[in-house]
Each structure stands twice: as structure tokens, then as C-alpha cells.
């Protein structure tokens, strides 16, 4: 059954056009963005925002820094 | 016997044209859809009209953000009229998804660049939705 499936997939690969799609990760080391302002009664304005930063270690693979910085809006 | 050859050939050609117009095989680049899709996986994708999109489908969408002419692949988290998921409210202030828009999220939130940072995606930018994984080719066939 598995062989049939493999053969069918191979036939599909010949017939159907191939494309690439990026499962995009955070773009580059140091890239960051501020979120919109959230309610936070601890701020005098009543709102705070969060900065999310992309971190790309030398051994590869970028990810969002686990401890984002925050400030009052 | 030969009488049937021509119609048979025409039917086969029509079938091939329809297959090529409806389906494509998409190679996934990157890890933001892990664990569902890993870097290098190949998936069969089917073109569907916006009315056929459903939540939790994995969509192949025109990439409007990186300046390239390629595609990105993400999961549909919310459709028009749905509540915007809490996790996607970093840059989206709306309570509900407006008409013609989508919330797309990667399955791997620690790396994914998606609606959390980019906001809504346009429904009209959806190119296809994935149907199933395609068996991996050998090393030689997979490249290029």
C-alpha cells in the first residue's frame, strides 16, 4: 500500500507544477516591533506596550526573544 | 479501436490541464509550521475560492511583506466575522475579523512571523490550501 502511495506521489510530482512557500520565521537578528497599547493600570496613561525582538543565534534558527521589553504608552 | 484513441487522448490532456490548474506541489521552507510541517516537506495544495476557506486549514498565501514574489504558508486562525484570537492582538485592535481579511498564524509561535506582527492578510491573496503531505523524494529529485 505504501509503495502504491509512493508511486502515486511520484506520478503527481511529474504532472503537477512545483512551487515553494516560506513558513516564514522572524526575519533577522535585531528585528523588532512594538505591539499596540494594552490596558495596564500601573502606567500613568493606563496603557503599556510590548517590544518583541527577533533573535538569531550564530548556530542558526531565528526566534522571538522570550522576555520582551515593555513600556508605558 | 483507433476511433477511441483520439477522444481518449483528448480526455487525458483535459484531465492533465485540469489537474495542473487546480493543484500544485508546494515545498515548505522554514520551521514556523512545525510540528505539522517541517522544513523541506512537500505538500499537495488545491486552489479554492475564498468562500471555501475554513478555519484550521493551512493556506499558501502570496507574500506581500518580504518584497518577493513568492508564497508564505500559515494556518488560518480566523475568518471574516470570527473573533480575533487573543494571541493575534499584538498589532490588531479589532474585535472581529473584517470582511475579506484573515488571521494567519504559524504553528510554532516562538519563531513564526505572521498576523501577530503583520496584522490581517487579504483573503484574495490565498493561492491554495494544503490537502496532504506528499511522500519525500530522494535527495537528487528533491533539489531544484
Residues 3..62 of A with a Cβ closer than 8 Å to B: which?
A: 5-6, 9-10, 12-13, 15-27, 33, 35-36, 50, 52, 61-62
Q: Do A36 and B60 touch (CB under 8 A)?
A: no
Of residues A10, A12, A36, nearest to B44 (C-beta): A12
First-residue to last-residue Cα distance in chain A: 60
Integer angstrom CA distances of residue B105 from A4, A54, B13, B108: 34, 17, 38, 8
List of domains in chain B: 23-142 (2.10.109.10)
Range with the largest mean pLDDT of B4-8, B55-59, B130-134: B55-59
Q: Percentage of residues in chain B with pLDDT exceeding 90?
A: 68
- Sketch the domain layout of chain A as residue ranges: 26-73
* pLDDT of B65: 79
Which tens digits make up the pLDDT trace of B27-86? Answer: 999 889 999 999 999 999 999 999 999 999 999 999 887 766 689 999 999 999 999 999
* pLDDT of B143: 44
> How deeply is A23 buried, as exposed, middle or buried, from its count of CB atoms within 10 A (0-12, 13-18, 19+)?
buried
**What span, in angstroms and rounded, lies between the C-alpha atoms of B34 and B55?**
18
Backbone angles phi, psi at A8, to 5 degrees: -60, -40
Name the average pLDDT for chain B: 89
Amino acid at each position: 500500500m505504501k509503495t502504491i502511495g509512493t508511486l502515486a506521489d511520484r506520478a503527481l510530482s511529474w504532472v503537477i507544477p512545483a512551487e515553494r512557500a516560506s513558513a516564514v520565521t522572524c526575519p533577522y537578528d535585531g528585528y523588532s516591533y512594538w505591539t499596540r497599547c494594552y490596558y495596564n493600570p500601573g502606567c500613568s496613561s493606563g496603557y503599556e506596550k510590548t517590544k518583541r525582538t527577533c533573535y538569531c543565534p550564530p548556530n542558526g534558527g531565528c526566534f522571538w526573544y522570550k522576555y520582551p521589553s515593555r513600556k508605558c504608552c | 479501436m483507433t476511433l477511441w484513441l483520439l477522444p481518449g487522448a483528448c480526455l487525458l490532456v483535459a484531465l492533465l490541464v485540469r489537474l495542473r490548474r487546480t493543484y500544485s506541489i508546494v515545498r515548505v521552507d522554514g520551521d514556523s509550521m512545525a510540528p505539522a510541517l517541517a522544513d523541506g516537506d512537500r505538500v499537495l495544495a488545491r486552489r479554492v475560492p475564498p468562500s471555501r476557506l475554513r478555519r484550521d486549514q493551512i493556506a499558501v498565501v502570496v507574500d506581500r511583506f518580504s518584497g518577493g514574489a513568492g508564497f508564505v504558508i500559515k494556518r488560518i486562525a480566523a475568518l471574516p466575522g470570527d473573533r480575533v484570537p487573543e494571541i493575534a492582538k499584538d498589532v490588531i485592535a479589532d474585535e472581529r475579523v473584517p470582511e475579506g481579511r484573515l488571521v494567519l498564524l504559524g504553528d510554532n509561535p516562538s519563531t513564526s512571523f505572521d498576523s501577530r506582527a503583520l496584522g490581517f492578510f487579504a483573503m484574495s491573496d490565498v493561492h491554495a490550501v494544503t490537502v496532504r503531505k506528499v511522500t519525500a523524494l530522494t535527495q537528487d529529485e528533491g533539489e531544484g
